Structure 1
Amino acid sequence: MHITIFGANGQTGRLLTGQALSAGHRVSAVTRQPATFPLRHERLEVVGADVRDAAAVDAVVAGTDAVLSTLGVPAGKEAISTYSRGTSGIVTAMNRHGVRRLAVVSSSGVEARTYSEGGFLFNRILLPYVTRVLGRTLYDDMRRMEAVVRASDLAWTIVRPGALYHLPSVTDHTLVQGHADGRFTARVDLAAALLRLLDDDRHVRSTISVVTTVENPTVLRWIHREALMRKDRPA
């Protein structure tokens, strides 16, 4: 299968690209910074393009079998439009070229709920601050992105991970229809889940959550090592 990955130079995008190549797929990895992309393979094409450039998106989508989006944008006070604008261009290009399968990474933060094991710090302080203050413009644009995807007639899946963190290898993660009562998702599991969707029609036109249930970090460790110290590289 020929897969086009947008946001390929982020931490999840790189993992997804590597897993797709290992599974025997041909990959077009789309990034604004192709010179920094670390992977090389005979079945890999690294494409330098901005997802907000409709003409560039159209060119890379042509001839592909499926599109996976792992776009990532840093949170900030400024208005964000990369998710919605970029995804709109992807949908338009897919319709133009007859490409049907689309999976996009969103976030559990777009429909934030308390978690049974979250505790006071996570549920009442960290979660509201991240979703309503620190990441308000980011989650607003993710909601617009989701609306664009749902309005399309593509074979789409919206994937909502929890708080992302690093693990060295794929675990026996869980895919849940709709909201999941699990706070954390390893990036390697998110990548694996996206790849699994290409061979699984059960989640077409659905919103799913990906939950990692082993080796979850504590809240304080996640804040220190992930939220503050680790930042996805520009896609």
Structure 2
Amino acid sequence: MPQITLFGATGPTGQALIREALHQGYTIVVFARSPEKLDLELRKSREISIIQGTLDSYSAIQTSLHNSVAVFILLAPSNGLPRWAGGSSSALTVTTGYRNIVRAMSELGIKRLIGIGTPSHVEPQDGFNLGLAVAVPLLRLVAPKVFEDVIETGKLLKSLGEEENIDWTWLRVSLLYNELGAREKKYNLGFIGQGGRFVLPSLSREELAKALLDEMEDRKWVRVMPFCWS
């Protein structure tokens, strides 16, 4: 069975991806700072290996990538709220993580990278959506370091060239939720505005997991940053 490596596995989106990947027959290497946050049933799975480390633990990152056919990065900026809101002015933790992961991938000859970002990064093909037009500036005001981390990660991916030789795809998402009951919607990939101009686009984590795994195989959006919604 093919093996994938996952960064950002302990959050709800990461665990949704793990479950879908197991359903599709993958084995998974989970890289996590706090593996105990992973659901117990997943920690006990024979198809899951866990590497504990932080995003500046380069040797641990390298170890987690061995024998994987693709790397999934579902990291979210943390500790990025301003001090007046009870947070701290953190470093660009996600951008730094991407930089170390890309370096390790290049050294090991692993080409396929699939990650997630947000509409804080704007693509030329994007149109207008009222909900995002309100939400994105609000995020920039309330959590400027979180906003900056997303922007810098996007710039980093765009700057990768022949030397790194990485076939990356970055799915931008906005409002994520846990799906309840029967699945009624299918994910869409395109650009902002194509899914409607006035309603804040949303997506279930289960559908996002499918989109990420489908794109790994389909390769329709290599070196592109499409928007994903349902």
Q: TM-score, normalised by structure 1?
A: 0.80
Q: Distance in 2 between matches of 1:137 and 1:22?
A: 36
Counting aligned pairs with the same residue, the percent is 23
> Where do residues 14-33 of structure 1 align in structure 2 (5 Å cutoff)?
14-33=15-34
| Bigger shift: residues 94-103 or 133-142 | 133-142
2:222 to 197, 204, 224: 204
Residue of structure 2 in register with 1:105 after alignment: 116
Separation in 1, partners of 2:114, 2:17: 12
Asked if the contact 1:32/1:49 (under 8 Å) is kept, the reply is yes
2:65 matches 1:67? no
Tell me if structure 2 keeps the 8 A contact 1:7–1:13.
yes
Residue identity matched to 1:165 = Y
**Cα distance in 1, alignment partners of residues 5 and 61 from structure 2:** 10
Match of 1:157 in 2: 169
Aligned to 1:231: none
1:123 Cα deviation after fit: 3.9
> Unpaired runs of 5+ in structure 1?
213-235
Aligned length: 205
Change (3 A) 1:206 1:123: closer
Unmatched 5+ stretches in structure 2? 83-88, 196-200
Instruction: Say if 1:97 and 1:10 are closer, same or farther in 2 by CA, change over 3 A.
Output: same
* Structure 1 stretches of at least 4 aligned residues deviating more than 6 Å after TM superposition: none
Worse-superposed segment, 23-32 or 158-167: 158-167
Matches within 5 A, 1:1-235: 1-38=2-39, 39=42, 40-74=44-78, 75-77=80-82, 78-111=89-122, 114-115=128-129, 118=131, 123-124=133-134, 126-130=135-139, 132-152=140-160, 153-168=165-180, 171-176=185-190, 178-182=191-195, 183-212=201-230
Deviation for aligned residue 1:113: 6.9
Q: Is the 8 A contact 1:62 1:93 kept in 2?
A: no
RMSD: 2.0
Q: Deviations over 1:3-40 (max 9, x none)?
A: 00000001100100111011000100111111221113
Amino acid at match of 2:187: H
| Deviation, structure 1 residue 42 | 1.4
1:180–1:211 Cα contact (<8 Å) kept? no
Counterpart Cα distance in 2 of 1:157 and 1:127 = 22
